[in-house]
């Protein structure tokens, strides 16, 4: 998913998936922490990038395995 809005400050990126980390006064900081746990439980990777030209990009990478 890509958000073409305001980029996320580089110093905040490492904290985005930490439990209870938030920059919003009315939020609880659980959303991305839960997403990361789910993705990792499926042996995947959650990647978050941000730049002034493209905004924030959230990528989820999962392994594809055939069903037997």
The pTM (predicted TM-score) of the whole model is 0.77
Contact 35, 46 (CB under 8 A): yes
Average pLDDT of span 50-62: 88
Query: Is 67 contained in some domain?
Result: no
- What pLDDT, on a 0 to 100 scale, did the predictor assign at position 15? 94
pLDDT band at residue 4 using 50, 70 and 90 as cut-offs = low
Q: What is the pLDDT of residues 5-29, one digit of tens each?
A: 778 888 999 999 999 999 888 989 8
| Residue 1 in this model has a pLDDT that exceeds 70 | no
Query: Is 66 contained in some domain?
Result: no
CA angle 28, 45, 4 (to 5 degrees): 65
Report the number of distinct structural domains present in the chain.
1
The CATH number that applies at residue 11 is: 3.30.565.10
53 compared with 13, residue with greater pLDDT? 13
Domain with 38, as residue range(s), is 2-61
Number of H helices, E strands in the chain: 1, 3
Query: Is 68 contained in some domain?
Result: no
Query: Is 48 contained in some domain?
Result: yes
Query: Is 20 contained in some domain?
Result: yes
Query: Is 55 contained in some domain?
Result: yes
Contact 46, 59 (CB under 8 A): yes
């Amino acid at each position: 998913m890509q958000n073409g809005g305001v980029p996320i400050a580089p110093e905040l990126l490492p904290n985005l998936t930490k439990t209870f980390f938030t920059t919003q006064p009315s939020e609880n900081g659980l959303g991305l922490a839960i997403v990361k746990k789910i993705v990792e439980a499926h042996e995947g990777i959650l990647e978050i990038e941000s730049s002034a030209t493209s905004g924030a990009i959230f990528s989820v990478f999962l392994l594809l395995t055939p069903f037997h």
